[in-house]
């Protein structure tokens, strides 16, 4: 704790050096000179651009005329509809039930009528099954559904069941059902719960605002998870570029609770579970394993806040905070959006500038570009970033040969050798990449591609290689 406090003074200054140091990337000298907060080895410093929305309080976004709710908006089995076309539903009512343990229900974001159940554009533009809902305008949009729940009386398993009923999944982008992460496998134990408030992707400020505005829900949610998992302590890990959130949380936490707030270095991908565990606890998740294998559970702060908000009232997840930002957006902000809101409607409301080049779901380091404006906002969407030609132009540089500058080696947070992997990838030697160079440990953070001065699409090669090897091996 003392170490972290000592680092806090530097934290706010360090946050602003993002742009200047971006040129150096993971340059060793500058890396050693600017240590701030505990962190992991590797990583990059892309310009943050968080100032666009960091000070904007969460605002409710208007209702669209139609909501599209994909049945597969979480990782795991798609939900199964429990309504039929033409049925009237109230806000908060379940529309679909989980299909098994690794699945969650879907709740209605508005009072209205189910107009269609069928194929719609979902995800980033592919077709998928969805429930389409037309809200009744003028209807009271209070959540009428739900009933109070006495948390203290519930067993861990009952708590996990209650979390599944809320339909909450990882709101940090992964969209993995939260209750599944809370279920500790036989023979394992968890001593520490980490609340992930890093938000290391450029532009995004969703978690930042949640940590400032939903502190009580967050602490309630953390308590529920701690009880269900039997952990001793809770650590809230926040990047040092959010000193206001760190301060607000430290002040809000009662001293008798086993919750601490720790500042970690501002560096991408600090918010990756494995990197955060390394920074806070010095532990490593075994290769191919999960955080629970080293006694830790990691949950995104917005996810936890939703659990704290919904579970005591037995309500379902029907909206989330989305950062709509980027140089292409006229009115950037942090908006509380009903799930299922079509992207086209969002962009119409916030307004776009000329020369839009790309629209990204999530942050620009890992988020996919969308190919259709008809797709909806779903549970895993942390932000909508609109980039213009200015931002994407550097990618059009020609690709030079690898000059073995080792920037990628220094940047890789899992300590792979992307240079070597890239050379093998170009030659199609995928098996070697996996067997001799640990390709499967790559979690596609893109740091290597970001720093490569030769503009080599390293992570793109790795995605292809991983996919092919997985396919080949499962075919055997």
Partner 1 sequence: MSQNSLVMELRSPPHVRQALTTPVIMANVVYAMLPICAFAVFSYGASALLLLMTCTAACVLTEHVIAKASGNPTPIGDYSAAVTGILLALTLPPGFPLWMGALGGVVSIVLGKTLFGGLGCNVFNPALVGRAFLQASFPVAITTWTPPYMDGRFVQGIPSSFTLPFLEPISVVQFVEDSGIDGFTGATPLAAQLFEQQPTSLADLFFGTTAGSLGETSALIILICGIYLAARGMMNWRIPAAIFASIFLVGGFFYTLNPDVNPNPFFMLLSGGLMLGAVFMASDLVASPTSPFGMWVYGVLIGAVTYIIRMYGGLPEGIMYAILLANAASPLIDQLTQPRTYGSRLRSKAA
Q: Which of 294, 296, 414, 465 binds ligand SF4 (CB under 6 A)?
A: 414
By the 8 A CB rule, do 422 and 416 touch?
no
Please report, as residue ranges, which positions from 291 to 350 form the binding site for partner 1 (by CB under 8 A). Answer: 293-294, 344, 347-348
- Is beta strand 88-89 parallel, antiparallel or unpaired with respect to 112-122? antiparallel
Minimum CB separation from ligand SF4 for residue 323, in Å?
23
Q: How far is the CB of 435 from partner 1 (least distance, A)?
A: 13
- Taking the least distance from each CB to partner 1, the nearer of 404 and 470 is 404
**Does the N-terminal peptide bond of residue 269 adopt cis geometry, omega within 30 degrees of 0?**
yes
Instruction: Choose from partner 1, ligand SF4, none: what does 462 bind? Cβ within 5-8 Å by kind.
Output: ligand SF4
Residues 370-399 that bind partner 1 (CB under 8 A): 370-371, 373, 385, 387, 391-392, 394-395, 397
- Stretch of residues binding partner 1 (CB under 8 A), selected from 85-93, 149-157, 170-178, 368-376: 368-376
Nearest of 42, 448, 45, 476 to residue 239 by alpha carbon: 45
* Residue 467 interface partner, choices partner 1, ligand SF4, none, CB cut-off 5-8 Å depending on type: none
- Site map for ligand SF4, 358-397, x if CB under 6 A? ----------------------------------------
Out of 444, 460, 464, 468, name the contact with ligand SF4 by CB under 6 A. Answer: 444
User: Nearest approach, Cβ of 396 to ligand SF4 (angstroms)?
Assistant: 17
Cα 431 to Cα 428, 435, 471, 472, distances in angstroms: 9, 6, 12, 10
Q: Select from 112-120, 185-193, 220-228, 403-411 the region that touches partner 1 (CB under 8 A).
A: 403-411
Question: Of 10, 17, 248, 284, which one interacts with partner 1 (CB under 8 A)?
Answer: 284
Closer residue to ligand SF4, CB minimum distance, 311 or 442: 442
Question: In this chain, which of 416, 424, 433, 465 binds ligand SF4, going by CB under 6 A?
Answer: 416
| 451 touching ligand SF4, by CB under 6 A | yes
**Assigned token pair, 289:** 């394993």
> Which residues from 163-222 bind partner 1, rule CB under 8 A?
202
Work out what residue 131 binds among partner 1, ligand SF4, none; the CB cut-off runs from 5 to 8 Å by kind: none
Pick from 443, 457, 460, 464: which binds ligand SF4 (CB under 6 A)? 443
Interface with ligand SF4, residue 98, by CB under 6 A: no
CA dihedral 121, 125, 127, 128 (to 10 degrees): -70
Site string for partner 1, 250-279 (x = CB under 8 A): ------------------------x---x-
Q: How far is the CB of 425 from partner 1 (least distance, A)?
A: 14
| C-alpha distance across the termini of the chain, in Å | 50
Residue from 404, 426, 472, 473 that binds ligand SF4 (CB under 6 A)? 404
Partners of 177 in the β-ladder: 169
Q: Which is nearer to partner 1, 252 or 373 (CB)?
A: 373
**What gap in Å lies between CA 47 and CA 22, rounded to an integer?**
6
Beta bridge partners of 342: 376
Is residue 465 a contact point for ligand SF4 (CB under 6 A)? Answer: no
Contacts of 175 (CB under 8 A, 6+ apart): 73, 74, 75, 169, 378, 379, 380
Strands 94-97, 80-81: pairing kind: antiparallel
Residues that bind ligand SF4 in the complex, under the rule CB under 6 A: 402-408, 411-414, 416, 418-419, 422, 442-448, 451-454, 456, 458-459, 462
């Amino acid at each position: 704790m003392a170490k972290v406090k000592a680092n806090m003074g530097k934290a706010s200054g360090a946050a602003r050096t993002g742009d200047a140091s971006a040129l150096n990337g993971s340059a060793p000298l500058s890396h050693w000179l600017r240590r701030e907060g505990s962190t992991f080895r590797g990583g990059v410093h892309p310009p943050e651009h968080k100032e666009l929305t960091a000070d904007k309080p969460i605002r409710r976004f208007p209702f669209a005329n139609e909501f599209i709710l994909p049945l597969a908006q979480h990782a795991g089995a798609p939900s199964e509809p429990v309504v039929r076309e033409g049925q009237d539903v109230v806000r908060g009512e379940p529309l679909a039930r989980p299909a098994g343990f690794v699945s969650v229900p879907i709740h209605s974001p508005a009072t209205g009528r189910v107009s269609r159940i069928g194929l719609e554009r979902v995800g980033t533009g592919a077709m998928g099954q969805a429930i389409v809902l037309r809200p009744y305008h003028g209807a009271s949009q209070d959540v009428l559904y739900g009933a109070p729940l006495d948390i203290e009386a519930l067993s861990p398993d009952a708590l996990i069941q209650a979390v599944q009923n809320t339909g909450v999944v990882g709101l940090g982008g992964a969209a993995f059902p939260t209750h599944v992460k809370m279920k500790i496998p036989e023979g394992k134990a968890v001593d520490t719960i980490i609340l992930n408030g890093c938000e290391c992707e450029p532009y995004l400020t969703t978690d930042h605002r949640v940590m400032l505005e939903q502190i009580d829900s967050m602490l309630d949610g953390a308590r529920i998870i701690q009880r269900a998992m039997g952990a001793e302590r809770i650590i809230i890990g926040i990047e040092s570029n959010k000193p206001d959130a760190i301060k607000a949380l430290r002040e809000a936490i009662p001293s008798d609770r086993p919750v601490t707030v720790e500042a970690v270095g501002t560096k991408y991908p600090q918010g990756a579970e494995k990197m955060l565990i390394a920074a806070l606890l010095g532990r490593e998740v075994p290769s191919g394993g999960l955080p629970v294998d080293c006694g830790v559970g990691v949950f995104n702060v917005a996810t936890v806040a939703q659990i704290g908000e919904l579970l005591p009232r037995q309500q379902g997840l029907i909206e989330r905070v989305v950062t709509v930002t980027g140089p292409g957006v006229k009115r950037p902000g942090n908006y509380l959006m009903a799930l299922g809101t079509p992207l086209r409607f969002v962009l119409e409301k916030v307004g776009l500038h000329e020369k839009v080049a790309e629209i990204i779901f999530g942050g620009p380091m890992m988020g996919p570009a969308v190919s259709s404006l008809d797709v909806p906002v779903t549970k895993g969407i942390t932000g909508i970033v609109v980039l213009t030609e200015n931002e994407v132009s550097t990618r059009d540089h020609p690709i030079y040969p690898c000059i073995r500058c080792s920037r990628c080696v220094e940047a890789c947070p899992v300590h792979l050798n992307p240079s070597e992997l890239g050379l093998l990838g170009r030659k199609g030697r995928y098996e070697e990449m996996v067997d001799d160079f640990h390709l499967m440990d790559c979690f596609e953070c893109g740091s290597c591609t970001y720093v490569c001065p030769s503009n080599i699409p390293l992570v793109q090669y790795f995605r292809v290689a991983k996919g092919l090897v997985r396919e080949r091996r499962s075919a055997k």
